[in-house]
Chains A and B, each alone.
Chain A
Amino acid sequence: MGSPTAGLAARTDARHTMIELTHVSQHYVDNQGALTHAVRDVSLQIASGEIFGIIGRSGAGKSTLVRSLNLLHRPSSGTVHVAGRELTALSPDALREARHEIGMIFQHFNLLSSRTVYGNVALPLELAGQSRTQIREAVEPLLELVGLAAQRDRYPSQLSGGQKQRVGIARALASRPKVLLSDEATSALDPETTRAILDLLRKINRELGLTIVLITHQMQVVKQICDRVAVMDAGRVIELGSVLDVFRTPQHDVTRALIGDVIAHELPSGILERLRKQELGAARLLRLAFTGDEVDRPLLSEAVRRFDLDFSILHGQVDEVQGQPFGSLTILTRASPATIAEASAFLAEHGVSTEDLTAQLLPAPSGSSSGASAPHLTLLRGDAVPLATEALNRVA
């Protein structure tokens, strides 16, 4: 083929690749000569218009990775492409130029205390050598956008944390970037302010088509606005996928521990301990994951009736991820393997996946998995009595 329009179409596609990391590694040598591999062989692509989250434990290499996207940290090896340019191949001058296309916001805002709100937002334009009129024409709409027009002559010390971050966002947008990097931008804010800032980021993403890469340790943030998420551990990306997939079927203990905060995924250790002490015989521990439109449907009671299922609910939660309902329910059942298989097949047809966790009932291996306790739990007192099914059956 090779028609000129084919290439054009590919380039104007709304979902072309905005950021591409290829085999990026970064190591530090400290004063004692010790080597730290902060990032190890990371390759990933981020599409234009995407909100991409990076999560991981402290020291996993998240900040280092994000700083390699604008070469604040130049990778020890590998290449970085942003908006079609290979940053790692640019001269210092060309790199400075390219950085105008990449805005960045920070946990501690990093605003100049010597400048007003207006002056801070104007800074990147001053650095780029724009005229006073050009600057005014660019800054004023930005202050409107972030809702700070009334505070334009205040100094950062006179602003709340949320307002400071709004200034940071307006400043990052001043040079009309294509990409916005965020390193824990909401970590210093209270939950309500966090939500407001995330709404603002979402709005910017939608209205300006900005690609956003954000690091966070708040799963709330990922849940609320990210499209895809990468999980980092010890410098590697160990898991990457849509937020829904990663939250529904986390593959690594690290991920499970991280998302335990927002998703009642792991059985609280207290409950597990109690179950281990009981004589459970052939009982099976199952986790049901509900996603999609059928969360609201009385699927469970249907299954109970159809297969004469008997179970007790140990733990569970229904929540929203990426605007989609999402639920997780851990149950204990003494039904026969055949019945379980049939019921699972029925549930699977309706988008409910079943995972067998019976192995967890075996005595804990020394140094049990994650000690992280999940805050949301449906309490079970005393023995695992199949109250739920009893109630269902009685009403039926």
Chain B
Amino acid sequence: MSPELLALFWDSFLETLAMVGTAGLVGALVGIPLGVALHVTDEQGILPHPWLSRTLGIVINAVRSTPFIILLVAVIPLTRVLAGSSIGTAAAIVPLTIAAAPFIARLVETALREVDRGLVEAAQAMGATNLQIVTKILLPEALPGIVAAFTVTLVSLVGYSAMAGAIGGGGLGDLGIRYGYQRFLPEVMLLVVLVLIAFVQIVQSAGDRLVRKLSHR
């Protein structure tokens, strides 16, 4: 492989990292509160609010069931406002984040549902406020589940980011398509796939290790 190609490879790797990392983090910042909201407003939750809970659920399902490639194009007007342009790596981060947040929200909701209701009851008996129940009981108890959810999200984002090439987002997936497929350089394709596999493995096992460390069940 030529040095130019290697440099290109490195740049693409950094682009993937930037897209996955940023979308993951911002997605978590939005998705975790959303997941908490879903959980507490549920009929069985500490702040039942069926109407709000149902509306949130519908919006989240709608985003999650939209194929990513369509989402990518559909949010272009918003992307232009947020990223200042509708093409490039920064532009790709906007739809990736929009896809990641509801994904995380659902997984967080599931993790919170695993927290024994008895713990909430015990906290209420101690005179805890609803905010304290969220911050001192629900989130700490669900933390291993939330970390696992975040890991799964990062892995999924690696796959989604490959489609970012469609709007000039770059990244390894894009490189693989442009060089490996369109310019018939199978070794580039192979390298892209191998690097992505390694990346996913590293993310997953780091996540698993953290979950094990956090979990005292």
Contact = CB atoms under 8 A, between A and B. Distances in A.
B34 to A, nearest CB: 22
B143 interface: yes
Contact of A127 (B119, B136, B215): B136
Contacts of B127: 95-100, 124, 127-128, 175
Nearest to B141: A114
Given A104-B122, A104-B125, A113 B136 contact: no
B100 to A, nearest CB: 25
Contact of A99 (B126, B136, B137): B126
Contacts of B126: 99-100, 123-124, 127, 175
B119 to A, nearest CB: 5
Interface string A149-178: 000000111000000000000000001000
A392 interface: no
- Contact residue range for chain A? 20 to 34
A127 B118 contact: no
A278 to B, nearest CB: 54
Say whether chain A's binding surface is mostly helix, strand, loop, or mixed: mixed
A157 B129 CA distance: 27
Interface string B118-153: 110111111111001000110011010000000000
A318 B86 CA distance: 88
Nearest to A120: B122
A72 B119 CA distance: 13
Contacts of A112: 119, 137, 140-141
Nearest to B125: A104
Interface in B4-28: none
B122 A155 contact: no
Nearest to B132: A127
A42 B135 CA distance: 37
Contacts of B136: 123, 126-127
Interface string B183-217: 00000000000000000000000000000001111
Interface string A88-100: 0000000111111
B121 A110 contact: yes
Contacts of A156: 216
Interface string A112-138: 111100000001101110000000000
17 contacts: A96-B128, A96-B129, A99-B125, A100-B127, A103-B125, A104-B122, A104-B125, A106-B121, A108-B118, A110-B116, A110-B121, A113-B141, A113-B217, A114-B216, A126-B136, A127-B128, A175-B127
Interface of B: 116, 118-119, 121-129, 132, 136-137, 140-141, 143, 214-217
3 A-B pairs closest in CB distance: A99-B127, A155-B216, A96-B127
